[in-house]
Chain A
């Protein structure tokens, strides 16, 4: 790729200059996202997970929202099954990213497996912001690989540090987890519908907290989304509106990027 002659920048066919910029963006996203692996690792071991359990989640589950949900349920006294269910439900969006990305990433074998494993908010977002196939591919691999490297590195740092926290409450780590969920939710609240659903889900979770075993209120609240999603949509008469999800992911990382600059 580096042997290619310097091409003119017009034409937009993934010129070397543009691709270099995309790769650099992927690195910045990887570093910024990876850094909050520290908070994941620390919260995980402070919630009672073993360092290696935290690392299996970061290396194999490898999707931040689901990982935070898993340790949130465990830390709140929920069952291991409830934790697994919450993480699986949050991970459903990665299936959607795969559907969207499949045409621009036609790989089989080892690369096909890697492609699936690196499918997360950040890689899907950078791929979605590419203007042609070359940019989409470069963005996907750059963001996916760098997030993987830094996320695991900083998860380990956080997990080792979290072990030495005797009383997570005294360090405010329970509040840190709540703020982490809010920060993950924030970029998704771009429409009135989204705000209504988030508030309704929060309300149902609190209403059912006294009556359901720990962990289940969160799943009960998820039903809000299923019901709302299956109801005929009045606000969006155009069915294509829902395929904008890839863009939703793009904006999801914008606060991070802006924070870096």
Chain B
């Protein structure tokens, strides 16, 4: 079995375990504000980092290309309250179009 399969299965089983654990834990954990704060802030930090690396990283290099323009279009659409799918498709079309024109 490949490493990728092992990671897919292990991460999937762990994901279920995380959900299950929430129902087993004593409810007073919620009253510990630091635990609740870290759990709330983690997705924000991870998603922020993922936006940055997915937009500007290429392997170990920082590359500014068509992706940056595409994410900019996505941000404008999000400001206009466009739905998720519209944002994602518009970003893909922007990047594909710019590349077809030979930029990025």
Residues of chain A at the chain B interface (Cβ within 8 Å): 32, 35-36, 38-39, 48-49, 53, 56-57, 60-63, 65-66, 68-70, 72, 74, 76-77, 79-81, 83-84, 86-103, 105, 112-113, 115-117, 119, 169-186, 188-189, 193-194, 197-206, 209-211, 214, 217-218, 220-222, 224-226, 228-230, 233, 239-243, 245, 248, 255-256, 258-260
**Shortest Cβ distance from A244 into chain B, in angstroms?**
9
In the complex, the answer to whether B93 meets A172 with C-beta atoms within 8 Å is: yes
Chain B contact-residue range equals: 35 or more
Complex alpha-carbon distance, A205 and B81, angstroms:
27
Complex alpha-carbon distance, A140 and B74, angstroms:
30
In the complex, the answer to whether B29 meets A89 with C-beta atoms within 8 Å is: no
Interface of B is mostly: helix
- Chain A CB within 10 Å, residue with most, of B41, B46, B87, B88: B46
Chain B stretch 23-76: residues in CB contact (< 8 A) with chain A: 23, 25, 27, 29-31, 33-34, 36-57, 59-62, 66-67, 70-71, 73-75
B16 within 8 A of A: yes
Task: Please list the 10 inter-chain residue pairs (A to B) with the smallest Cβ-Cβ separation, ordered nearest first.
Answer: A98-B22, A259-B83, A172-B95, A179-B91, A198-B48, A221-B49, A175-B95, A229-B38, A175-B70, A80-B7
Provided the pairs A57-B8, A209-B62 are in contact, do residues A225 and B51 lie with their beta carbons within 8 angstroms? no
Provided the pairs A63-B15, A206-B52 are in contact, do residues A197 and B41 lie with their beta carbons within 8 angstroms? yes
In the complex, the answer to whether B99 meets A222 with C-beta atoms within 8 Å is: no
B101 within 8 A of A: no
Q: In the complex, which of the residues A179, A189, A197, A243 contacts B87, with contact meaning CB atoms closer than 8 Å?
A: A179
Give how many A-B residue pairs fall within 8 Å (CB-CB): 345
Complex alpha-carbon distance, A65 and B50, angstroms:
11
Provided the pairs A49-B4, A182-B51, A239-B33 are in contact, do residues A103 and B27 lie with their beta carbons within 8 angstroms? yes
Q: In the complex, which of the residues B19, B71, B78, B88 contacts A98, with contact meaning CB atoms closer than 8 Å?
A: B19
**Shortest Cβ distance from B12 into chain A, in angstroms?**
4
Complex alpha-carbon distance, A90 and B44, angstroms:
9
Chain B residues within 8 Å of A173, by CB: 92
Q: In the complex, which of the residues A169, A204, A256 contacts B49, with contact meaning CB atoms closer than 8 Å?
A: A204
Chain A residues within 8 Å of B15, by CB: 60-63, 66, 87-88, 91, 94
B5 within 8 A of A: yes
Complex alpha-carbon distance, A62 and B14, angstroms:
11
Chain A residues within 8 Å of B90, by CB: 179
Report the nearest A residue to B57, measured CB to CB: A209
Q: In the complex, which of the residues B13, B66, B91, B95 contacts A60, with contact meaning CB atoms closer than 8 Å?
A: B13
In the complex, the answer to whether A92 meets B18 with C-beta atoms within 8 Å is: yes
Complex alpha-carbon distance, A68 and B54, angstroms:
11
Give 19 A-B contacts (CB < 8 Å), ordered by A residue. Answer: A39-B85, A60-B9, A60-B16, A61-B12, A95-B19, A97-B22, A98-B22, A100-B22, A112-B23, A170-B100, A172-B91, A175-B66, A188-B47, A206-B56, A214-B60, A228-B41, A230-B38, A239-B33, A243-B36
